[in-house]
């Protein structure tokens, strides 16, 4: 899958894309990521990318022309791709959305806003979808774009060593995941639950499911219990 990112701050992307699973996925050709400086598509001697808002108010608004030109250039070079505007007003990122994009799309063009945001004509006439990573406001769309790339990449075939992992992780079935333990069996007097050392995989699966339900009820009572657990009489 290919991601092209339009940003005013390309340097932000170097570290996260060059480490661990994202770096390996790039090396193996499972993903390709192009980072493009919006300023290069701005015209005039000063390559202005933002202006004060019409109607007054503080802050600056990103101009539409360099963003439209940047997307056109990316499409000319790398083919058509859906345009995603990173925005606090967008559809909230979820595992279902990340999975859907991993399965349905081959190329996404991510637009990162800054300052007060992006001229509305980008959302209205260029973006195919707007995505928010949560109900809080960050200083720019770069970290949200990285979050989106990471969340989608985990769902691409062959990226994670265990292909079942993304489907067992927290939220994938509407539940938080059961806790994990590793060696030593007792640490500072705190023992690993016996069942995990039992070797009985049916028991371990049952314990993990029940522990996931308990943790979800305790930590995220807002998440509804999956139908199959309601039917099994679990509360």
Ligand X SMILES: C[S@@+](CC[C@H](N)C(=O)[O-])C[C@H]1O[C@@H](n2cnc3c(N)ncnc32)[C@H](O)[C@@H]1O
Question: According to CB under 6 A, which residues from 46 to 105 bind ligand X?
Answer: 86-89
The answer to whether the Cα torsion of 14, 20, 21, 27 is positive or negative is: positive
Which positions from 131 to 150 touch ligand X by CB under 6 A, shown as an x/- string? -xxx-xxxxxx--x------
For residues 212 and 180, the answer to whether their CB atoms sit within 8 Å is no
Alpha-carbon span 13 to 143, nearest angstrom: 8
- Which C-beta is closer to ligand X: that of 137 or that of 202? 137
Alpha-carbon span 230 to 235, nearest angstrom: 7
- Which C-beta is closer to ligand X: that of 33 or that of 196? 33
- Which C-beta is closer to ligand X: that of 132 or that of 172? 132
For residue 13, the minimal CB distance to ligand X (Å) is 14
Catalytic residue among 40, 65, 116, 211: 116
* Structure tokens given for 125: 């006439």
> Is the bond preceding residue 164 a cis peptide, omega within 30 degrees?
no
Active site residue 37: no
For residue 92, the minimal CB distance to ligand X (Å) is 9
Q: Of all residues in this chain, which one has the CB nearest to ligand X in the complex?
A: 113
Residue 112 interacts with ligand X (CB under 6 A): yes or no? yes
Q: Which residues contact 54 (CB under 8 A, 6 or more apart)?
A: none
The sheet carrying 107-111 orders its strands as 32-37, 2-7, 107-111, 82-92, 129-132
Alpha-carbon span 138 to 122, nearest angstrom: 19
Active site residue 116: yes
Residue 108 interacts with ligand X (CB under 6 A): yes or no? no
Active site residue 184: no
Residue 117 interacts with ligand X (CB under 6 A): yes or no? yes
- Enumerate the active-site residues: 88, 116, 154, 169
Which residue ranges make up the site for ligand X (CB under 6 A)?
A: 86-89, 112-114, 116-118, 132-134, 136-141, 144
């Amino acid at each position: 899958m290919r991601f092209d990112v339009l940003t005013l701050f390309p340097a932000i992307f170097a570290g996260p894309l060059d480490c661990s699973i994202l770096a390996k996925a790039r090396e193996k050709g499972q993903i390709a990521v192009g980072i493009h400086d919006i300023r290069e598509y701005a015209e005039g001697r000063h390559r202005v990318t933002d202006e004060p808002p019409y109607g007054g108010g503080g802050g600056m608004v990103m101009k539409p022309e360099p963003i439209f030109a940047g997307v056109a250039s990316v499409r000319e070079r790398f083919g058509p791709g859906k345009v995603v505007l990173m925005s606090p007003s967008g559809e909230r990122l979820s595992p279902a959305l990340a999975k859907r994009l991993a399965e349905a799309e081959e190329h996404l063009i991510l637009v990162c806003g800054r300052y007060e945001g992006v001229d509305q004509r980008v959302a209205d006439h260029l973006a195919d979808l707007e995505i928010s990573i949560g109900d809080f406001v960050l200083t720019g769309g770069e970290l949200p774009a990285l979050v989106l790339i990471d969340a989608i990449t985990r769902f691409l075939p062959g990226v994670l060593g265990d292909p079942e992992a993304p489907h067992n992780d927290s939220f994938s079935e509407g539940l938080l995941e059961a806790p994990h333990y590793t060696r030593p069996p007792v640490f500072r007097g705190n023992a690993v639950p016996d069942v995990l050392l039992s070797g009985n995989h049916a028991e371990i699966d049952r314990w993990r499911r029940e522990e996931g339900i308990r943790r979800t009820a305790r930590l995220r009572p807002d998440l509804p219990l999956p139908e199959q657990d309601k039917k099994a009489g679990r509360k």
